[in-house]
Amino acid sequence: MSKQSHRTCVRMSAEEYSWLMERSRAAGLSANAWLMEQLTDNRPIISRDGVMPDFLRLLNQRGREINTVARAFNSGYGTAEELRQALDCLKDIAQAAYEIRKEGSPMRHKRKKPLPRGKLRDNSKSISVRMTEEQFLRLERYRELTRLPVTTYFRKLVAESEIVERPSRTRFRLYEEVNKIDSNIRQILRNPRAKELDREAADRIRFLLEHILEQAYHINAHHDLSHKDGQ
């Protein structure tokens, strides 16, 4: 058996302490063993930064093409061909977003709904948590991802809360790129000339824009294709 050479004191409220005792007893484990099981099972949901750079480049490239079309329509010289070009750009973006959600977030998993916290929160209870070297290194790795203090991290484990990696600049860039596309597409669609030239293409553009905005939200929220609204 590995030696539990690392110790840390975790302070929590009386309510959180009660949850810990109830859940560990229900699992037939000591409080310490239950926490270590949670440390292994309730891993942080990591970002999609590994696949996002290519998607952001695509958004930027297609976004610049759409911006050119928007300028043409704002000048009163937009053509049906340019309108269909904007539509093709949105199709590329929608397909790329689908592939990202299809791949899924590597650590995404369903969690139990956490119990609601009481109105008052205190630090009246404490527990000495013992860890092996492997468990301690895992905790430090997860804390580096989430930037959470030790006590906060263990409190989240006690509450069986979803633990998420701290947002990176990538997530904000996604919204920046999508918002620019949204603004340019709406400029195109506000021009009566768009529907006069190709009503079907204009309607498809409107539909795909709304779809892409929804997909951007789901990508940042780490929702794969199995996600249903309200979950």
Q: State yes or no: pLDDT of 113 exceeds 60.
A: no
- 131, 6 in Cβ contact below 8 A? yes
114 and 215 assigned to the same domain: no
Residue 155 and residue 134: Cα distance in Å, rounded? 20
In a domain, 163, yes or no: no
pLDDT value, residue 224? 66
Q: Assign 3-class secondary structure to 71-132.
A: HHHHCCCCCHHHHHHHHHHHHHHHHHHHHHHHHCCCCCCCCCCCCCCCCCCCCCEEEEEEEC
Report the sign of the C-alpha dihedral through residues 186, 188, 193, 198, in that order: negative
Domain assignment present for residue 131? The answer is: yes
Q: How many domains does the chain have?
A: 2
Instruction: Tell me: do 34 and 133 sit in the same domain.
Output: yes
Residues 60 and 25 both lie in one domain: no
Tell me, yes or no, whether 182 lies in a domain.
yes
Question: Would the pLDDT of 46 be above 90?
Answer: no
Instruction: Note whether residue 188 is domain-resident.
Output: yes
Residue ranges making up the domain that contains 120: 6-46+109-158
Compute CA 170 distance to the chain's CA centroid, rounded to the nearest angstrom: 11
pLDDT of residue 107: 43
What's the pLDDT band for 173 if we cut at 50, 70, 90? Answer: confident
| Mean pLDDT, rounded, of the chain | 86
Other beta carbons within 10 angstroms of residue 215's beta carbon come to 19
Same domain as 34, residue 75? no
- List, as one string, the DSSP characters of 26-83: HTTS-HHHHHHHHHHHSPPBPP-TTTHHHHHHHHHHHHHHHHHHHHHHHTT---HHHH
pLDDT in tens, 57-102: 999 999 999 999 999 999 999 999 999 999 999 999 999 999 988 8
- Least confident stretch, 28-37, 38-47, 54-63, 172-181: 38-47
Domain annotation covers residue 1: no
Q: Please indicate, yes or no, if residue 176 is contained in any of the structural domains.
A: yes
Rg, Å, the chain Cα set = 24
Residue 70: other Cβ atoms inside 10 A: 23
Dihedral angle sign, alpha carbons of residues 219, 222, 224, 230: negative
Are residues 183 and 144 part of one domain?
Answer: no
Position 227 in a domain: no
My answer on whether 97 and 121 are in the same domain is: no
Q: Please give the pLDDT value at position 168.
A: 62
Residues 38, 58, single domain; the answer is no
Do 185 and 92 share a structural domain?
A: yes
pLDDT at 111 over 50: no
In 108-134, which positions are buried (b, 16+ CB within 10 angstroms) versus exposed (e)?
A: beeeeeebeeeeeeeeebebebbbeee
Residues 113 and 208 in one domain: no
Q: Are residues 138 and 35 in the same domain?
A: yes
Tokens 């669609």: give the residue: 189
Is 118 a domain residue? yes
Give the integer Cα–Cα distance in Å for 205 and 73: 15
Closest to 65 (Cα-Cα) out of 47, 88, 42, 37:
88
pTM: 0.58
Estimate to the nearest angstrom the gap between the alpha carbon of 225 and the chain centroid. Answer: 13
Is residue 110 very low, low, confident or very high in pLDDT (cuts 50, 70, 90)?
very low
126 and 201 in a common domain: no
Same domain, 100 and 56: yes
